[in-house]
Amino acid sequence: MTLTVSTTDERTTTMRKYLFVIALLPSLLMAQVRLTIIDGISNNSVKQAIEKNTSALLTDINDAQAAGRTPNFGSLNLPQSVQISLSMLWENSPFMVTETDIQERCLQTATGYQVRNISLQMLPREAQNFNEEEYQEAVISYDKQGRIESFYLSLNMNLYKQVMNSNRGVEDLRRRQLILDWTERFRTSYNTKDIQFLDQVFSEDALIITGKVIRQTKSDVQLPEKIEYTKQTKNEYLTKLRRVFKNNSYIKVTFDDVQISGHPVNPDIYGVTVHQGYTSSNYHDDGYLFLLWDFKNEDEPKIHVRTWQPDMLNGQPLQEEEIISINDDWGFGDE
Mean pLDDT calculated for residue range 233-258 = 94
Distance between CA 133 and CA 110 in Å, rounded? 35
Task: Read off the amino acid at residue 101.
Answer: D
Given a cut of 60, whether residue 305 has pLDDT beyond it is: yes
Query: Residue 171 has what pLDDT?
Result: 66
- For the residues of 269-283, what is the DSSP string, one character each? EEEEEEEEEEEETTE
Q: Which residues contact 274 (CB under 8 A, 6 or more apart)?
A: 183, 255, 256, 257, 258, 259, 288, 289
pLDDT band at 130 (very low <50, low <70, confident <90, very high): very low
pLDDT band at 9 (very low <50, low <70, confident <90, very high): very low
pLDDT band at 167 (very low <50, low <70, confident <90, very high): low
Query: Residue 258 has what pLDDT?
Result: 92
Structural class in CATH, domain 195-322: alpha beta
Q: 240 in helix, strand or coil?
A: helix
Given a cut of 60, whether residue 30 has pLDDT beyond it is: no
Given a cut of 70, whether residue 7 has pLDDT beyond it is: no
Given a cut of 50, whether residue 185 has pLDDT beyond it is: yes
Mean pLDDT calculated for residue range 201-211 = 96
Average pLDDT, the chain: 86
In 10 A of CB 146, how many CB atoms?
22
- Enumerate the domain spans of the chain: 2-154, 195-322
Q: Give the predicted TM-score (pTM) of the model.
A: 0.84
Which sign does the torsion angle of CA 228, 231, 235, 236 carry?
negative
> For residue 148, with 0-12 CB atoms within 10 Å meaning exposed, 13-18 middle and 19 or more buried, which class applies?
buried
Estimate the share of the chain in helix, then strand, then coil, as percent rounded to the nearest 5. 35, 35, 30
H-assigned helices in the chain: 2-24, 44-67, 80-92, 157-165, 173-191, 195-201, 234-247
Q: Which residues contact 82 (CB under 8 A, 6 or more apart)?
A: 73, 148, 149, 150, 151
Mean pLDDT calculated for residue range 67-92 = 92
> For residue 326, with 0-12 CB atoms within 10 Å meaning exposed, 13-18 middle and 19 or more buried, which class applies?
buried
Domains 2-154 and 195-322 share a fold: yes
Tell the CATH topology of 2-154: Nuclear Transport Factor 2; Chain: A, (3.10.450)
**Of 211, 232, 159, whose CA–CA distance to 322 is shortest?**
211
Given a cut of 70, whether residue 170 has pLDDT beyond it is: no
CA 52 remoteness from chain centre: 25
By the 8 A CB rule, do 281 and 188 touch? no
Query: Residue 161 has what pLDDT?
Result: 87
- DSSP label at residue 17: H
Q: What is the pLDDT of residues 312-334, one digit of tens each?
A: 988 899 998 899 999 888 876 55
**Of 244, 11, 194, whose CA–CA distance to 87 is shortest?**
194
